[in-house]
């Protein structure tokens, strides 16, 4: 059956700026509480600086601007060069727009009046950025210098720090660099209904694009052609101008290269009969992203070896999702995935011995060196994985976890178990007697060059358990049917024709 005539069943989701007004309201409540708890006066301004447009090296080529994520969370502003402030005592929000030169109207389009931004972004007042000092001083009702809460803190995924807002005449203000970052980061961890709505949409359009990629995959194509199918689908039908990250379109051996797709490995291999494909791609819609991985045989039919590895990973993915609920430790979920994969590899004859022993010896990290999953939201690796007091584990595999948090209702996290045959890990493991005693070396050697499998979904933790926002064919027979032209999502059972492609 052909895909739907329009190419998609989706239309771009409605973007509502109330979402950001709610985010600001949440921050104000949390900040007031935090200040009251430490017996500090509940006043001052949150001041954030939005992102600036960047040119390519020395040229005048402006890179497509994407707003800084904390600023996007609070204000939803898509243009560069803004500042935003929130008065903690009144809860009022102020945007500061750049004063654009008259020339702007010639080259870039009409200059919007401040009233436009006030209405569009649903803030209380708008001024120009060259008025910040004066406005904040005038709006301060307390004696002495106004207090500014600036954003400064560590991103535990990148190791970089967020840059506090810079204004001239900072000496006219008192500043606090400690309070805002942990409180605002914590606000971003638990998603609101409206945020979940956008993430569901990003997942819907990305899931559909993954299905389109599976359908179009043919032996002899280039990996980048399938990348282009994905990009076209999410932009053409989904209005997604940005992706959450650089597409990983890996086939054959490349599917064991975890961050394949970068400039030195630009998705340019030819698809060979018998290759496994691992495609990790996600679209972003109004700042909120999806992060989805599908693995499938490029020729449309799983071989026995591919079935073994794929089903090991799928069982881990499904086990975790059927277990996840508030109160669970993410480390335990990671270990559950590892154990599931090791048990399957043992059943398949690749490894041998006691699985408990393997767990103690951290054998799972040889096949899955990355963490089970990460928080996701406005950033693909959303911040807040390691709040103060939560230590990063040191053991192989576990140290790669981007969070070790206890699951809470409202948190959205990726579940992305994988099983890879990576020479850089297999060779040293073969030489380590504690690990190699578990290897069936002949079988393991046979799998060198296989690549790897990852299955990644975005999962919302609910009061009862969790909800998978991703909807891609996952069972091997579903993938084979979709690649042979069957519809996705499958029609309800009653309407299935006898030769509908599903069995
Ligand atoms: Mn991911």
Distance (Å) from CA 486 to ligand 1 centroid: 27
Written as six digits, the tokens of 138 are 């005038």
pTM of the model: 0.96
CATH of the domain at 142: 3.40.350.10
499 — pLDDT class (breaks 50, 70, 90): low
Taking 50 as the threshold, does the pLDDT of residue 3 lie above it? no
The pLDDT tens digits for 412-461 are 999 999 999 999 999 999 999 999 999 999 999 999 999 999 999 999 99
- On whether both 319 and 333 belong to a single domain, the answer is yes
- On whether both 160 and 229 belong to a single domain, the answer is no
Distance (Å) from CA 245 to ligand 1 centroid: 9
Close Cβ partners of 493 (under 8 Å, ≥ 6 residues apart): none
32: left (phi over 0), alpha (psi -120 to 50) or beta: alpha
The pLDDT tens digits for 16-36 are 999 999 999 999 999 999 999
Distance (Å) from CA 101 to ligand 1 centroid: 42
- On whether both 257 and 312 belong to a single domain, the answer is yes
Predicted local distance difference test score (pLDDT) of residue 285: 98
Predicted local distance difference test score (pLDDT) of residue 141: 83
- On whether both 182 and 234 belong to a single domain, the answer is no
CATH of the domain at 277: 3.90.230.10
- On whether both 330 and 470 belong to a single domain, the answer is yes
The whole-angstrom separation of Cα 23 and Cα 29 is: 10
Predicted local distance difference test score (pLDDT) of residue 2: 40
Distance (Å) from CA 456 to ligand 1 centroid: 7
Distance (Å) from CA 414 to ligand 1 centroid: 6
Written as six digits, the tokens of 251 are 């086939």
Is 491 part of any domain? no
Count of domains observed in the chain:
2
Is 7 part of any domain? no
- On whether both 346 and 475 belong to a single domain, the answer is yes
Distance (Å) from CA 402 to ligand 1 centroid: 10
Residues paired with residue 248 on neighbouring β-strands, in sequence order: 280
Q: What residues have their beta carbon closer than 5 A to ion ligand 1?
A: 291, 414
The whole-angstrom separation of Cα 128 and Cα 149 is: 20
Taking 90 as the threshold, does the pLDDT of residue 243 lie above it? yes
From the list 115, 86, 99, the residue with the least C-alpha distance to 28 is 86
* Mode of pairing for the β-strands spanning 276-281 and 292-297: antiparallel
Is 501 part of any domain? no
The whole-angstrom separation of Cα 333 and Cα 344 is: 17
Distance (Å) from CA 265 to ligand 1 centroid: 19
The whole-angstrom separation of Cα 148 and Cα 160 is: 22
- On whether both 149 and 246 belong to a single domain, the answer is no
What order do you get walking across the sheet with 93-97 strand by strand? Answer: 125-128, 93-97, 83-87, 45-49, 147-150, 174-176
Distance (Å) from CA 330 to ligand 1 centroid: 15
Q: Mean pLDDT score of the chain, rounded to an integer? A: 96
Taking 80 as the threshold, does the pLDDT of residue 61 lie above it? yes
Is 394 part of any domain? yes
Residue 337's domain comprises 193-484
Distance (Å) from CA 64 to ligand 1 centroid: 23
The whole-angstrom separation of Cα 125 and Cα 92 is: 8
Distance (Å) from CA 413 to ligand 1 centroid: 9
Is 499 part of any domain? no
- Calculate mean pLDDT across residues 266-274: 98
Taking 60 as the threshold, does the pLDDT of residue 500 lie above it? no
The answer to whether the peptide bond before residue 370 is cis (omega within 30 degrees of 0) is no
Distance (Å) from CA 454 to ligand 1 centroid: 10
- On whether both 169 and 215 belong to a single domain, the answer is no
What secondary structure does DSSP assign to 279-345, as a single string? EEE-EEETTEE--EEEEEETTSS--HHHHHHHHHHHHHHHHHHHH--TT-BHHHHHHHHHHHHHHHH
Distance (Å) from CA 292 to ligand 1 centroid: 7
- On whether both 87 and 206 belong to a single domain, the answer is no
Distance (Å) from CA 434 to ligand 1 centroid: 30
b/e string for 456-467 if b means 16 or more Cβ within 10 A?
A: bbbbbbeeebbe
CA 381 to chain centre: 5
The Cβ-side half-sphere exposure at 186, using a 13 Å CA radius, reads 14
Predicted local distance difference test score (pLDDT) of residue 4: 47
From the list 361, 307, 368, the residue with the least C-alpha distance to 341 is 368
């Amino acid at each position: 059956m052909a895909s739907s005539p329009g190419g998609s069943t989706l239309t771009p989701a409605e973007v509502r700026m109330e979402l950001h007004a709610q985010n600001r309201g949440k921050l104000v409540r949390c900040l007031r509480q935090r200040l009251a708890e430490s017996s500090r006066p509940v006043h001052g301004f949150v001041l954030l600086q939005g992102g600036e447009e960047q040119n390519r090296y020395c040229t005048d080529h402006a890179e497509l601007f994407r707003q800084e994520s904390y600023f996007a969370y609070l204000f939803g502003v898509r243009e560069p060069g803004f500042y935003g402030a929130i008065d903690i005592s009144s809860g009022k929000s102020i945007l500061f727009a750049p004063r654009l030169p008259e020339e702007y109207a010639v080259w870039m389009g009409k200059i919007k009046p401040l009233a436009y931004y006030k209405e569009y972004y649903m803030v209380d007042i708008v001024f120009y950025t060259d008025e910040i000092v004066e406005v904040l001083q005038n709006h301060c009702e307390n004696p002495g210098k106004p207090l500014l809460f600036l954003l400064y803190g560590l991103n535990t995924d990148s190791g970089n720090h967020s840059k506090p807002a810079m204004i001239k005449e900072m000496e006219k203000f008192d500043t606090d660099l400690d309070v805002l970052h942990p409180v605002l980061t914590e606000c971003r961890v638990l998603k609101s209904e409206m945020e979940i709505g956008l993430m569901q949409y990003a997942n819907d359009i990305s899931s559909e694009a993954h299905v389109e990629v599976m359908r179009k995959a043919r032996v002899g194509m280039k990996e980048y052609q399938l990348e282009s199918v994905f990009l076209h689908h999410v932009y053409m039908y989904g209005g997604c101008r940005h992706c959450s990250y650089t597409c990983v379109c890996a086939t054959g051996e490349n599917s064991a290269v975890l961050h394949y797709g970068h400039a030195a490995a630009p998705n340019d291999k030819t698809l060979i009969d018998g290759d496994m494909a691992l495609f990790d791609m996600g679209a972003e819609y109004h700042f909120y992203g999806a992060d989805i991985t599908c693995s499938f045989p490029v020729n449309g039919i799983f071989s026995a070896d591919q079935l073994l590895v794929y089903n090991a990973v799928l069982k881990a993915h499904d086990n975790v999702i059927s277990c996840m609920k508030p109160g669970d430790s993410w480390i335990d979920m990671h270990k559950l995935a590892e154990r599931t994969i090791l048990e399957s590899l043992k059943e398949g004859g690749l490894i041998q011995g006691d699985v408990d022993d393997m767990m103690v010896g951290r054998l799972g990290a040889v096949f899955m060196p990355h963490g089970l999953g990460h928080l996701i939201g406005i950033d693909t690796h959303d911040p807040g994985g390691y709040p103060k007091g939560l230590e990063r584990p040191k053991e192989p595999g576990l140290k790669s976890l981007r969070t070790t948090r206890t699951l809470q209702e409202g948190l959205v996290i990726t579940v992305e178990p994988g099983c890879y045959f990576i020479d850089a890990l297999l060779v040293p493991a073969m030489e380590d007697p504690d690990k190699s005693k578990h290897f069936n070396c002949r079988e393991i050697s046979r799998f060198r060059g296989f690549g790897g499998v990852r299955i990644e979904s975005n999962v919302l933790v609910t009061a009862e358990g969790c909800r998978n926002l991703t909807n891609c064919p996952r069972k091997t027979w579903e993938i084979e049917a979709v690649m042979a032209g069957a519809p996705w999502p499958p029609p309800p059972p009653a309407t299935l024709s006898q030769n509908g492609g599903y069995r």
